[in-house]
Amino acid sequence: MRLRIDFRDSLRDFSQHHLARLLTSILVLISCGCGSDTRQPATPDKPASVETESLPATESTSESPQITTSATTDPTASAAPLSYSGDSHALLIGCTKYDHLGETSNLRGPTNDVDMMRGVLISRFGFDSNLIRTLTEDSKANGRPIKENITRELGHLAHVAGEGDRVVILLSGHGSQQPDNDFDNPEDPEPDGLDEIFCPADIDFATSEESPFAKNALTDDELRSAITAVRDKGAFVWVIVDACHSGSAVRGNEVYRQLAPEFLVSPKAIATARKKAGAGTRGLSQEDSGMDAATTQGGLVAIYAAQSHEPTLEMMLPDQSDESEWRGLLTYTMIQVLTTAETPVSYRELVQRIHNEYVQTYGRLGPTPLIEGVDQHRQILEQTEIPARSEFVLAAPSANDTTDLPAFALNGGRIHGFTKGSIFAVFPPPGETASEAPLGHVQIVNARLANSVVLPVEFNGLPIQESLPVGGRVQPVEVQYGDLALKVTVETPEGTDPAADPIAEVLRQIEQDPGQRLRLVTADQATDWIVRRSDSDAYFLVPAEGWSKVPDETNFGPAPASDQLEWFRERLGRISRVKSLLKLCDASSKQSTGLFSALLGARKACEIKLTLNSVSEDSGELEPIKWSKEKWKLADGSQVLLEVENTGTESVDFSVLFIDSKFGITSLFPAPGVVADNRIEPGQTYPVGPMQVESTTLGLEHL
């Protein structure tokens, strides 16, 4: 199960900035499938012009996809921890015996998960044992993990939690789904028409198709409400869900921790709910709702055992040991990483390490643990925000990535500005002993949209190192920008030499900056933007194709004489990022009549259908806007809602980005700082909006 946290509040905040009258391009980033499914053979890219930038081999402190070298710290270093001043509470729930489902549905590992988690909270993080409450089969009647007891204990957390407290909630057991009991509520979006549920020990079958809800289920709505009550007290909440709902099976010595929705509820009721979800879009509301992370609530991080289509496992762990017991794969591996970490790690790094352990220790690429929450970069159960460091890591190659040398996969590609030939320094994984010097270097031999294939390479006097660690963090040291470079030329009044103009020296300084993709060209070469000097010696930025409308002078000129370097660096940086994003979208997708597809390697294209609707001011009804000449024409002042429909056969992860007329990039969905599930399964539709349209713009906006 997952906490579905609504993004509409942040979207409404954004809508105050409005959209353009003409949406000249569609920026919907889509990724088909997940994990190893998206990999493709390592074939050479087409030749491209080479723009090379050498960077120091130190970890960056920027979270932006742009390459910077603003830090000179060791990649595994972090600030000193600041211990919590408040109390530490935990509620650990392990469901092994199911009273009404039959013995074949019982599990053996959740109680062991609770015991392990309780031990590590006390020994590693200093929790008071008296403030850790557990619900397992080993407890007395009022301590069994039945619905009534779980609800009582969640309420207890909200009662005792206070400002500055830290709260841990573990849910270990079966998960499933049932029809959404509030389908028409726009503040509770369930794109597939189904609520996720956690199965308490007393869960029971639904009684009828008219009331298709499992008895005593703990729904995601109930859990979200309980967590919100704790966060409203100012406490930080870490939720671990070692359960899932993707299927039901037993295979050898692995047991799946999920019950198919059709097991608890009639297949007809499940099919009806899914059909209802795919048939229409929920109504619109202007009321605030959801767990908006932009409030004064305490922080939140949630870690899930698997993606929605993957199984959650329990198995005998540690493998082939006299101490082996049935344990959840997620909980066991997570605690193993926490207890062996030699340096601080963040929640996000913890999830990366867990998946790396799956690959290295068990030789498996899945399941893929997920993380949500606005505090992913905090140190585990501390208030310290770990300085942002590169999130690019080495992974094991897929079967199609085989070469004569030991190939690795890299979780970065062209969308991050990486192209074939770029070189990266490799450092130890987070949590392992820090290293000032890189362990070795790798070079991209095949750059894809979101990931790449890399090979060990000799660089900067360090020979080839073939035994680099899977999970090792990488930092770019030499980036070849190719066709992603932003070409800029200087234009001066007739009779003057542009190359000798003082502004040319300013641009040359920017060209040498680490992470800048600027390339200064002469007037007889193809260019993207022009730095134009007027007769009054003022400098303006002008696109090579000219303006369709007079721009805001404060944004594109005149450049202030006192700070020209920073003024041009900031604006050209924004323009460069937008150019790269637009180019990547154009290269990776095809569009016609609102139907978009993305081709990943030799795989079949993933397809999504985009429908832009006008929203009636009176009734709130939706009316599709006609798609014409690869754009939608919109009326000033109207409200619109975008529907994203997965018309393909693969799962699709999507993001909707808005580029404003000042070349700022805003994520409409998922909204910044708000937890949201951006995966849509085949046949599902997700609404994004509503948004307000305004015509007083430059015509440079993109959605």
Task: Using a pLDDT cut of 70, give the percent of the chain over it.
Answer: 67
Predicted confidence (pLDDT) at residue 583 exceeds the cutoff of 90: no
User: Bigger pLDDT: 215 or 194?
Assistant: 215
Whole-number Cα distances in Å, 228 to 212, 293, 297: 27, 11, 8
Tokens 């603003």 found at = 70
Is residue 577 within 8 A of residue 583, CB to CB? The reply is no
> What pLDDT, on the 0 to 100 scale, is given for residue 14?
32
Same fold, 52-63+388-480 and 88-282+293-372: no
Which tens digit of pLDDT belongs to each residue from 506-553?
999 998 876 678 889 998 899 999 999 988 889 999 888 876 555 555
Distance CA 535, CA 124 (A): 69
Mean pLDDT of 302-310: 82
Is there a cis peptide before residue 558, judged by omega within 30 degrees of 0? yes
Is residue 67 within 8 A of residue 479, CB to CB? The reply is yes
> What pLDDT, on the 0 to 100 scale, is given for residue 444?
93
Mean pLDDT of 396-403: 58
Which tens digit of pLDDT belongs to each residue from 109-118?
999 999 999 9
The DSSP code sequence of 488-525 is EEEE--TTS-GGGSHHHHHHHHHHTSTT--EEE--TTS
Distance CA 480, CA 327 (A): 46
Which tens digit of pLDDT belongs to each residue from 197-244?
899 999 998 876 667 888 999 998 899 999 999 999 999 999 999 987
> What pLDDT, on the 0 to 100 scale, is given for residue 68?
27
User: Bigger pLDDT: 384 or 33?
Assistant: 384
User: Bigger pLDDT: 44 or 474?
Assistant: 474
Which tens digit of pLDDT belongs to each residue from 430-441?
777 767 789 999
> What pLDDT, on the 0 to 100 scale, is given for residue 398?
59
What is the band of 600 on the pLDDT scale with cuts at 50, 70, 90?
A: very low
Predicted confidence (pLDDT) at residue 370 exceeds the cutoff of 60: yes
Predicted confidence (pLDDT) at residue 47 exceeds the cutoff of 70: no
Predicted confidence (pLDDT) at residue 55 exceeds the cutoff of 60: no
What is the band of 49 on the pLDDT scale with cuts at 50, 70, 90?
A: very low
> Nearest 5°: phi and psi at 56?
-65, 150
Is residue 173 within 8 A of residue 110, CB to CB? The reply is yes
What is the band of 9 on the pLDDT scale with cuts at 50, 70, 90?
A: very low
Predicted confidence (pLDDT) at residue 696 exceeds the cutoff of 70: no
The β-bridge relationship of strands 685-692 and 639-646 is antiparallel
> Lowest mean pLDDT: which of 123-132, 147-156, 603-612?
603-612
Predicted confidence (pLDDT) at residue 248 exceeds the cutoff of 60: no
User: Bigger pLDDT: 323 or 42?
Assistant: 323
Distance CA 46, CA 446 (A): 10
> What pLDDT, on the 0 to 100 scale, is given for residue 293?
40
Question: In the numeric block, which tokens belong to residue 468?
Answer: 């680099």
What is the band of 651 on the pLDDT scale with cuts at 50, 70, 90?
A: confident
Mean pLDDT of 413-436: 83
> What pLDDT, on the 0 to 100 scale, is given for residue 254?
53
User: Bigger pLDDT: 441 or 263?
Assistant: 441
The conformation of residue 434, written as its DSSP 8-state character, comes to P
User: Bigger pLDDT: 489 or 584?
Assistant: 489
User: Bigger pLDDT: 645 or 200?
Assistant: 200
Predicted confidence (pLDDT) at residue 74 exceeds the cutoff of 70: no
> What pLDDT, on the 0 to 100 scale, is given for residue 180?
75
Supply the pTM of this predicted model.
0.63
Predicted confidence (pLDDT) at residue 195 exceeds the cutoff of 70: yes
Task: Using a pLDDT cut of 90, give the percent of the chain over it.
Answer: 28
Domain 52-63+388-480: CATH architecture, name and number where available: Beta Barrel (2.40)
Tokens 């929450």 found at = 373
> Nearest 5°: phi and psi at 116?
-65, -45
Mean residue pLDDT of the chain comes to 75
Which tens digit of pLDDT belongs to each residue from 56-65?
444 433 332 2
Helix (H) or strand (E) holding 269: helix 267-279
Helix (H) or strand (E) holding 628: strand 627-628
Mean pLDDT of 447-472: 88
Query: Which CATH number applies to 88-282+293-372?
Result: 3.40.50.1460
User: Bigger pLDDT: 682 or 335?
Assistant: 335
Distance CA 349, CA 431 (A): 9
The closest of 575, 569, 588 to 415, measured between CA atoms, is 588
What is the band of 294 on the pLDDT scale with cuts at 50, 70, 90?
A: very low
Q: What separation, in Å, do the N-terminal and C-terminal C-alpha atoms of the chain show?
A: 31
Q: Exposure of 481 by Cβ count < 10 A (0-12 exposed, 13-18 middle, 19+ buried)?
A: buried
Predicted confidence (pLDDT) at residue 383 exceeds the cutoff of 60: yes
Query: For residue 284, how far is the Cα from the chain centroid?
Result: 26
Is there a cis peptide before residue 670, judged by omega within 30 degrees of 0? yes
> What pLDDT, on the 0 to 100 scale, is given for residue 642?
82
> Lowest mean pLDDT: which of 70-84, 319-333, 482-496?
70-84
> Lowest mean pLDDT: which of 306-320, 456-470, 485-499?
306-320
Predicted confidence (pLDDT) at residue 416 exceeds the cutoff of 50: yes
Mean pLDDT of 556-578: 89
> What pLDDT, on the 0 to 100 scale, is given for residue 85?
67
User: Bigger pLDDT: 46 or 413?
Assistant: 413
> What pLDDT, on the 0 to 100 scale, is given for residue 377?
87
Distance CA 464, CA 630 (A): 49
User: Bigger pLDDT: 246 or 387?
Assistant: 387
Delimit the domains of the chain by residue range.
8-36+600-692, 52-63+388-480, 88-282+293-372, 484-570
> What pLDDT, on the 0 to 100 scale, is given for residue 18?
34
User: Bigger pLDDT: 579 or 360?
Assistant: 579
Predicted confidence (pLDDT) at residue 427 exceeds the cutoff of 70: yes
Predicted confidence (pLDDT) at residue 426 exceeds the cutoff of 90: yes
Angle of CA points 366, 393, 659, to nearest 5°: 95
- The winner for highest mean pLDDT among 268-272, 292-296, 649-653, 676-680 is 649-653
> Lowest mean pLDDT: which of 104-113, 603-612, 650-659?
603-612
Q: How many CB atoms lie within 10 A of CB 592?
A: 9
User: Bigger pLDDT: 143 or 291?
Assistant: 143
Mean pLDDT of 306-326: 82
User: Bigger pLDDT: 506 or 307?
Assistant: 506
Question: In the numeric block, which tokens belong to residue 315?
Answer: 């198995």
> Lowest mean pLDDT: which of 44-53, 373-382, 442-451?
44-53
Predicted confidence (pLDDT) at residue 6 exceeds the cutoff of 50: no
